[in-house]
Structure 1
């Protein structure tokens, strides 16, 4: 296992400042995921850690060992950092068999044929490729090729694995299968993983902790998947993690009204100011009558197991889903233009990019 420390890391390409004074610690044995929009510096940070690029300023430490220090011009080569790297394009050699692809790092290291054979066969079994050792990549599925790439990165038993969108090129079913396999591998081998992705499902499923980065390359929040999803520290984190609904709120005469309308939002803990409340589709409770905000169904979509509704409340639209079974059982199969009542399981308050969990 390895502890990773980034200290005041900055990196610029031309006039584009990608990272600036970034600080981050990844603990021993964690599966830590970097989330963020394209161009925010996730992959750049991974490449700096791997030694493929050097920062303009700052230090990187792996298990207390300084591998990069811009001030002292320290730059340990990638092959001496005890890490494995897997990219999204697999990067397996098409002219080599599965066996030769996986064993190639050991061949470069000058290991004997017996050592290579033993290590390759152990690693083949580890990634569920037994029986495919003599096949070429062209004879493998996408998921199998990705397993080859994983095995090749694992063959030297590194203490640290860097994964850059490794499942992007797989279909939905394979992505789901592989994300669980990666998590199992991490548990079995006790290695530290730094994972880069924009796929929220994968990140939430495999991460012990994750960090949300903004377009400027700054980290906006670090926490467990539950903390990030349920306790967002700001509006940007809330918007990034899943489908987000927002209702503008105006504070007037000790009351909170929705947008420019007259409907009153009664929710405990709202500050005496204007702002907005956010909620997930699962936070919305629909009914045909009773208390709550009055809305109108502007779109009703049957999606098999769920009904997907878009609701207009005083000029603002919200998305919600309800299981088809529940909708049928509780007379909640709404048609477009019907009215409904909306209440909430949970709301988050956002004002000036500061959030208060309701």
Structure 2
């Protein structure tokens, strides 16, 4: 296993400053994900760690060993950093069998044939490729080819795995299958994984912790999947992590009103100022009578397992989803134009400065 430390990392390509003074620690044995929009510097950070690029400033350490430091001139070569790398395009050799693809790193080490065979077959079994060792990549499915790439990165028993969008080229079913397999592999082997993606669902499913990067390459929040999703520290993180509802709030005469309307929004411990409340569709509670904010159902969409409703509250549009079974059982089947009442399981406060108050 390995601890990764980035200290005040900066990297510029031409006039484009991709990373500036970035610091981050990935703990020994965890699956840590860098999540952010395309072009935010996630892959650049991974390439710096792998040794494919050199930082302009700052240090990178794997455990206590400095592997990159432009001040002292340290730049440990990629093959000396004890890591495995898997990219989104698989990069398996089409003319080699599954066995030979996986064995390639061990052959470079000039290990005995018996040792190579034993280690390759152990990894083949671990990634569920048993019986496919003699096949060429063209005879494999996309998921099987990605398993070959994973096996090749794992066969030399690295302490650290770097995964750069490895599931992007797979269809939805295979992506779901592979993300769980990657997590299981990490648990079995106890290695540290640094995973790069812009896919929120994958990040939430496999990560012990994740860092959200903005378009400028700055880290906006680090936390567990639950902390990032449910307790977003600012509006950017909340928006990025999935479908988000925002309710503008006007503070006037000691009360909080929805946008420019006259409905008072009662919620615990709101600050005496204007701001914005955020919620997920699952946080919206609908009813046909009772108390709450009065709204109008402006769109009804049947999505099979769920009913998707769009609600208008004094000009503020909210999305919510109700299980179809629940909607049928609890009289929550609405039609467009019907009145409804809205309450909330959870709301997050975002001040005008976009600092979340919780």
Q: If the length of structure 1 is used for normalisation, what is the TM-score?
A: 0.99
Q: CA separation in 1, counterparts of 2:326 and 2:173?
A: 27
The answer on 1:43 being equivalent to 2:43 is yes
User: Is 2:90 aligned against 1:101?
Assistant: no
Task: Give the structure 1 partner of residue 138 of structure 2.
Answer: 138
Task: Please name the residue that 1:356 is paired with.
Answer: 357
Tell me by how many angstroms 1:240 deviates.
1.1
Deviation at 1:244, TM superposition (A): 0.6
Which residue of structure 2 lines up, in the alignment, with residue 80 of structure 1?
A: 80
Deviation larger for 108-117 or 257-266: 108-117
Structure 2 SS opposite 1:246: strand
Taking the TM superposition and a 5 Å limit, the aligned residue runs for 1:1-358 are: 1-351=1-351, 352-357=353-358
* 2-structure distance, mates of 1:296, 1:16: 47
Shift of 1:152: 0.2
Distance 1:349 1:270 in 2: 8
Distance 1:320 1:164 in 2: 33
Q: How many Å separate the matches in 2 of 1:338 and 1:71?
A: 67
Counterpart-to-counterpart distance in 1, 2:73 and 2:8: 15
Deviation at 1:110, TM superposition (A): 1.2
Query: Following TM superposition, by how much is the alpha carbon of 1:356 offset from its aligned partner in structure 2, in angstroms?
Result: 1.7
Separation in structure 2 between the aligned mates of residue 295 and residue 218 of structure 1, nearest angstrom: 38
What is the CA-CA distance between 1:216 and the residue it aligns to? 1.0
- Structure 1 distance, partners of 2:313, 2:42, is 38
Q: Secondary structure, in 3 states, of the residue corresponding to 2:95?
A: coil
RMSD: 0.7
Count residues with an aligned counterpart: 357
| Cα distance in 2, alignment partners of residues 268 and 123 from structure 1 | 54
Return the alpha-carbon distance in structure 2 between the equivalents of residues 156 and 265 of structure 1. 59
Measure, in 1, the Cα distance between the counterparts of 2:259 and 2:306. 29
Match of 2:290, SS?
coil
Unaligned runs of 5+ in 1: none
Moved >6 Å (runs of 4+): none
Deviation at 1:228, TM superposition (A): 1.0
Q: 1:23 Cα deviation (Å)?
A: 0.2
1:356 partner SS: coil
Cα deviation, residue 290, structure 1: 1.0
CA–CA distance in structure 2, aligned partners of residues 171 and 339 of structure 1:
40
Q: Secondary structure at the match of 1:355?
A: coil
